């Protein structure tokens, strides 16, 4: 991103399923401007282990938690005018200034200050000098999902206009930030003072369209490499004659004498139930198709064609084995979702192990 662009490491959602402490242990000694989380609960979880971590909360903080957030010096995303007065009161009470990042509405219609209400916000902020506007942020609606980036350009234009209004009203902004992974990868002019990197930090492309846009602009890609693998083991191997059912609902019936591996992972672990009768896992370097429905903690796969499968053989749900690979993107395609959801829903209780 270049030396003058700060990094907000987005570690919400259990660091996209990768593990708060595993990821933070690696990042804490890097030059990270903020650790961006969604909620106050995530901020609390992170700072319990790493008390001095600079935290930026992207989501909503309830009014009754604002005093606590200020006392912790957490940076807040501001987009409700009511919040300013409450923050100001607590800032006076705790003796700490309240640092906020103004979140601008530029067309996503999620959290944000509309252009119409911006003058009121500016007036209110000027009335409350203990509420410091440290940052001005926005979020793109349509970069990942398309190779046509005209809406993103429109949003960027809105952002610049509103930023200019804020700055010309005499509010000095230290950190302007707009870009998540896709914008960071594709458009230098979205970088401003800081980028908020989530999915790409974990070695995943935000989408096929982002990947294509990047490759078209930069030629061959060797930029991102997924860092997460998800592994289980074979818990039982059984011979199932032709014509028998497998799993709940009797949705799969063997058409030939089959050898079935029982795998102790299920939808509770985050292995999507939509992968029932659709997904594959890797065993002994080969693809084994999922047979029957994914259960809460168990599913079955067909290993008839794989010689020498043994009890406790490694089963790869995501990652490489031999010359084969299953990516989060592939699972997402099978489960009719996106790689973000596949990794962020891996149950936090499963152990995450750093291997390199
Ligand atoms: C989640 C999030 C990001 C990170 O997005 P990626 O596409 O994962 O890089 C950035 N900004 C905001 C406001 C977010 O909610």
Model confidence over 214-243: pLDDT tens digits?
999 888 777 899 999 999 999 999 999 999
In terms of phi and psi (left: phi > 0; alpha: psi -120 to 50; beta: otherwise), the region of 43 is alpha
199 CA: nearest ligand 1 atom: 8
Q: Is 225 a catalytic residue?
A: no
Residue 10 CA to ligand 1 center (angstroms) comes to 7
Share of the chain above pLDDT 70, in %: 100
pLDDT score of 144:
81
Is 6-218 a domain of CATH 3.20.20.10?
A: yes
The domains of the chain are located at 6-218, 230-344
Query: Helix axis angle, 150-168 relative to 118-127, nearest 10°?
Result: 40
Q: What is the pLDDT of residue 279?
A: 98
Whether 149 has a pLDDT exceeding 90, the answer reads no
| SS3 category, 97 | coil
pLDDT of residue 208 exceeding 80, the answer is yes
**147 vs 163: which has the higher pLDDT:** 163
Over residues 170-195, the mean pLDDT reads 96
CB contact at 8 A, 241 and 229: no
Tell me the C-alpha distance between 24 and 26, whole Å: 5
With a cut of 80, say whether residue 257 has pLDDT above it.
yes
Taking the CA of residue 16 as reference, the ligand 1 atom at the shortest distance is 8
pLDDT more than 90, % of the chain: 94
Whether the per-residue pLDDT at 253 is higher than 90: the answer is yes
Pocket test for ligand 1, best of 12, 36, 59, 201 (most atoms within 8 A of CB): 36
pTM as predicted: 0.96
Nearest CA to ligand 1 atom 10: 180
**Active-site residue 157, yes or no?**
no
Q: For residue 11, how far is its CA from the centre of ligand 1 (angstroms)?
A: 9
The domain 230-344 having CATH identifier 3.40.50.12140: the answer here is no
pLDDT for 142: 87
């Amino acid at each position: 991103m270049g030396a003058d662009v700060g990094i907000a490491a987005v570690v919400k959602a259990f660091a996209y399923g990768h593990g708060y402490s595993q990821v933070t242990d690696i990042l804490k000694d890097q030059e990270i401007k903020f650790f961006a989380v969604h909620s106050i609960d995530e901020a609390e979880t992170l700072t319990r282990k790493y008390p001095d971590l600079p935290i930026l909360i992207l989501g909503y903080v309830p009014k009754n938690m604002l005093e606590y957030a200020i006392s912790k010096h957490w940076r807040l995303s501001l987009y409700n005018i009511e919040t300013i007065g409450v923050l100001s009161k607590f800032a006076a009470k705790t003796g700490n200034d309240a640092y906020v990042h103004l979140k601008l509405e530029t067309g996503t219609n999620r959290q944000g200050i509309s252009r119409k209400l911006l003058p009121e916000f500016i007036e209110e902020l000027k009335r409350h000098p203990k509420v410091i506007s440290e940052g001005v942020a926005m979020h793109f609606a349509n970069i990942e999902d398309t190779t046509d980036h005209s809406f993103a350009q429109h949003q960027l234009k809105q952002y610049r206009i509103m930023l200019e209004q804020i700055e010309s009203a005499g509010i000095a902004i230290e950190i302007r930030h707009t870009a998540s992974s896709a914008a960071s990868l594709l458009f230098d002019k979205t970088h401003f003072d800081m980028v908020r990197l989530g999915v790409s930090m974990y070695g995943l492309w935000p989408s096929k369209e982002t990947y294509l846009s990047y490759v078209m602009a930069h030629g061959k890609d060797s930029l991102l490499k997924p860092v997460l693998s998800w592994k289980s083991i074979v818990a039982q191997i059984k011979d199932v004659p032709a014509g028998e059912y497998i799993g709940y609902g009797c949705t799969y019936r063997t058409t030939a004498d089959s050898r079935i591996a029982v795998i102790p992972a299920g939808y509770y672990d985050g292995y999507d139930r939509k992968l029932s009768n659709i997904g594959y896992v890797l065993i002994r370097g080969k693809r084994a198709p999922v047979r029957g429905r994914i259960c809460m903690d168990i599913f079955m796969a067909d290993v008839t064609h794989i010689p020498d499968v043994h009890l406790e053989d490694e089963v790869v749900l995501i990652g490489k084995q031999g010359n084969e690979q299953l990516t989060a993107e592939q699972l997402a395609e099978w489960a009719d979702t996106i790689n973000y959801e596949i990794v962020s829903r891996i149950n936090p209780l499963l152990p995450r192990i750093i291997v390199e």
